[in-house]
């Protein structure tokens, strides 16, 4: 057993754990959403937290966050890190290209679009804070 801090420290609250009481999320038990646009989002936390999305995002070849070069916007701020592939990001009128090891932070209220620019899937870690805030 590994302990941090005081032995009198209370155990992690239920909001920090999954249904089995563990804070660990295994790949075969992640909640996931497959979008028609060729994108898959997998939750990386044991339980959803209000206003926070911590995701493994996979953009298949030709996959994009929105179809037909349309842009989206929503409340919050996004942080991303590309593990593999080449991810294009349009933010307003500017387009950026992220390769493995590149990261980005952006204001989600600015119209944006994420898309696979290459011929292999893109895998990225994505963190969105305040999406539900109004």
Residue 103 and residue 25 in contact, taking contact as beta carbons nearer than 8 Å: no
User: Residue 112 corresponds to which tokens in the numbers above?
Assistant: 């944006």
CA atoms in the 13 A half-sphere facing the CB of 25: 18
- pLDDT number for residue 67: 82
Give the mean pLDDT per block of 10 residues along the chain (134 residues): 37 48 88 93 87 94 90 95 98 97 97 97 96 66
> What is the reported pTM?
0.80
């Amino acid at each position: 057993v590994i302990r941090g801090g005081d032995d009198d420290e209370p155990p992690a609250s239920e909001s920090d754990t999954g249904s089995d009481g563990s804070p660990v999320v295994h790949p075969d038990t992640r909640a996931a959403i497959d979008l028609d646009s060729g994108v898959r989002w997998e939750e990386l936390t044991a339980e959803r937290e209000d206003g926070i999305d911590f995701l493994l995002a996979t953009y298949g070849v030709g996959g994009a966050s929105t179809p037909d070069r349309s842009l989206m916007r929503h409340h919050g701020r996004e942080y991303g890190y590309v593990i593999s592939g080449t991810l294009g990001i349009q933010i307003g009128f500017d387009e950026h290209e992220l390769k493995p090891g590149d990261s980005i932070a952006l204001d989600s209220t600015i119209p944006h679009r994420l898309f696979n620019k290459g011929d292999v899937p893109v895998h990225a870690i994505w963190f969105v804070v305040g999406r539900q805030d109004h």
